[in-house]
Structures are given as structure tokens and as C-alpha cells.
């Protein structure tokens, strides 16, 4: 089986989408790009994450054609492929339907620097323009919204994150959903205080060396 280890990792993190509360049902999708193989592995369309096995994960070439696997790939292939084509700093993409991020996205609102943790994604998290799911237009809108960032909200839809590893992309998704929750709740009782740009640049720099892996990708400014 091609890219077996990567496909198993995708299964593990797909199940964590549910257990971490980042999506419901079969919502969302995950992919990992392997430059050496000039291919990426992505979750299949509409299969329960707890029934999905490694062989159900689909491998595609950079033209978007299936090269290994019998399942139909996620409808959001273009949403993932556009980052691998154009962002050398992104090797994994996580798309969620997390509640508070989707609340902001439904209001077409960005997530401002209401917490230093937003710096995991950048100075803020922009909301991209709406387009129907599964379209190239949605991919292009989302790609523009995530320029210089590692996360973007998708209007009336959800959240997307990207990073140099699936571990980091998933962590960013969790951190940004937490920040969105706090921001929405804080907005319900007052006016959240937004951190200034200089502080967010400082935090972004510190997050470049955060954790146990010194070669993690940094936050773009």
C-alpha cells in the first residue's frame, strides 16, 4: 500500500476530529503531502471516521488523479491541492467544522488578536469569501484568506489550517477553535481587548521555537 504510514496517521487524526470536538459526523477532511512522492493522501468522501481504515485513505498525484486507493476522495481535493501547489511551508492541511470558528465564519467575521494564542496562525485569522463546497472557487478564496497565515475561516462553512506536519496543523486547529470560543464568549459580555501588532509579532517569533521540535515551521509575518 502506497504511503501506508501517512495513511495510518491520517486515520488517527481523523478520529481525533470527532473526539476533540472539531467536527461532527463525516464533516471535515485531512490530507498530507509527500514531496518525494509528488503525491498527497487525503480522507475519503463520506466514510465514518471510526470505520475508516488506512486503505480507505486515497492517494492522489499533483494533477489531482487517484494513484492508489479504491475509494472516492474527499470532495475538497482542490481545497487541499492548492496549498501543496503554492505553499512550500505547508505539508499537511486540516479542515474542520468546529463550532465557534463556524459561528464567526457564518457572520463573515475574522478572528482578531484577542489572545496571544492566535499567533499560532498569524496576526489574525481572516475569513475568506463564500463559495460552494468542493469548488475551485472555494479553494482560491480560502487560499487568498490564508496568505501569510496558517489558518483561515471559510464563510458559512468552517476552519482550515496548514503546517509543516499533521501534528502541527491539528494543534493549530485546536488552538484557533479555543481562541474563537473565548472571543465569542467574551463578546457576549463586553468588548474584547485586542492585542497590538507588535505583541503578535513577538508571539509569532516565540512560537517558531515552541515545543520539542526545533525544525518546526514558523509563523509568517
Interatomic CA distance for residues 127 and 117, integer angstroms = 18
- β partners of residue 161: 94, 151
Tell me the backbone φ, ψ of residue 148, rounded to 5 degrees.
Answer: 70, 15
Residue 76 is a catalytic residue: yes
Listed in sequence order, the DSSP H helices in the chain are 4-19, 77-86, 99-106, 136-145, 166-189, 197-207
8 Å CB contact between 179 and 115:
yes
- Determine which one of 5, 38, 55, 76 is catalytic: 76
Interatomic CA distance for residues 194 and 187, integer angstroms = 12
Rg (CA), the chain: 17
For residue 167, with 0-12 CB atoms within 10 Å meaning exposed, 13-18 middle and 19 or more buried, which class applies? middle
Spatial CA neighbour of 184 closest among 103, 98, 96, 97: 103
The residues carrying an active-site annotation are: 76
Amino acid at each position: 500500500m502506497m504511503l501506508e504510514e501517512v495513511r495510518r496517521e491520517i486515520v488517527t487524526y481523523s478520529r481525533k476530529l470527532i473526539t476533540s470536538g472539531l467536527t461532527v459526523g463525516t464533516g471535515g477532511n485531512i490530507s498530507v503531502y509527500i514531496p518525494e512522492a509528488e503525491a498527497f493522501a487525503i480522507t475519503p468522501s463520506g466514510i465514518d471516521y471510526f470505520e475508516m481504515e488506512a486503505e480507505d485513505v486515497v492517494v492522489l498525484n499533483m494533477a489531482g488523479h487517484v494513484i492508489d486507493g479504491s475509494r472516492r476522495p474527499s470532495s475538497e481535493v482542490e481545497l487541499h491541492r492548492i496549498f501543496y501547489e503554492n505553499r512550500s511551508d505547508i505539508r499537511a492541511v486540516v479542515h474542520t467544522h468546529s463550532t465557534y470558528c463556524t459561528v464567526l465564519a457564518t457572520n463573515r467575521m475574522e478572528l482578531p488578536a484577542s489572545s496571544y494564542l492566535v499567533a499560532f496562525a498569524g496576526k489574525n485569522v481572516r475569513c475568506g469569501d463564500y463559495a460552494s463546497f468542493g469548488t475551485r472557487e472555494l479553494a482560491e478564496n480560502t487560499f487568498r484568506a490564508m496568505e501569510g497565515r496558517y489558518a483561515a475561516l471559510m464563510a458559512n462553512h468552517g476552519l482550515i489550517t496548514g503546517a509543516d506536519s499533521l501534528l502541527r496543523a491539528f494543534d493549530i486547529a485546536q488552538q484557533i477553535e479555543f481562541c474563537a470560543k473565548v472571543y465569542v464568549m467574551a463578546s457576549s459580555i463586553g468588548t474584547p481587548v485586542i492585542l497590538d501588532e507588535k505583541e503578535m509579532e513577538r508571539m509569532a517569533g516565540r512560537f517558531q521555537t515552541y515545543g520539542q521540535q526545533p525544525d518546526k515551521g514558523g509563523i509568517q509575518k
